[in-house]
Structure 1
Amino acid sequence: MTAPAFAAQHSVEIAITNTGDAGLDCGAAIAHWFSEDLGRIAPGETLEFSFGYDLATGTVFRLNEAGDEMAVQRVWCGLAGNAWPTRAEIPLERRAGEAPAPVALDCAAVEGTTRCTAKAAE
């Protein structure tokens, strides 16, 4: 009997809460060529999503339809309908050998930009 090469699945868990008065759209740049809509967040709502994480290399990835690991280059949220120009970058830890901590942010579109802060401990 052989052990699987990848015995435990790792992931990066992300929760974005919209603390502002306007909707937010979130997206990701995947493998340099693609972008993916991650969802819209109404005021007062939270969007939760996750990406795979390769513990050996620190690579954050999304599986495509064929099961290939597509590297996640960046993640952002911005004002709904104008997310890219008003975006706030969502930080992704990438450290080989270390499992990433969950990301929990409060974000709001304010004065033509989006600002995110670490979510206050509950």
Structure 2
Amino acid sequence: MKRLPLALAIAGMSSLLVSSADARSAYDGPWSLLFVTQYGPCDPTYNFSVNIINGIVTHPNLVNFRGRVARSGAVRASVTVHEKYASGSGRLVGPSGRGTWSGHSGNARCAGYWTAQRN
């Protein structure tokens, strides 16, 4: 069974409804994420870094990555790499955050939670 990298779960973060008119958010800057698998054959933990610019969550090496942070701190993200997909949601509050993620790679399903810390 193929393993679903928790990096995909970074999604463990995830696509919010934030208008493109929203400029600079209170959450802009670099963030470190920790993804923990609670269910499925994925790696037990995975560390990942993202950058938030104007409320948009970005990662330089993932082309099919979409993520947004609302002014309220609500966050959603999703990522697709080949046949692997993951998405997640949660909330950022000040310099930290927490949420849940789930995904699949073929028939393998995984899920868990993520935490975030501003760098």
Task: Please indicate, yes or no, whether the TM-score normalized by the shorter chain is above 0.5.
Answer: no
* Structure exhibiting the larger radius of gyration computed from Cα positions: 1
Q: Please state which band the TM-score falls in when normalised by the shorter chain.
A: 0.3 to 0.5
Please give the TM-score of this superposition, normalised by the length of structure 1. Answer: 0.36
Structure with bigger RCO (C-alpha 8 Å, 6+ apart)? 2
Please give the TM-score of this superposition, normalised by the length of structure 2. Answer: 0.37
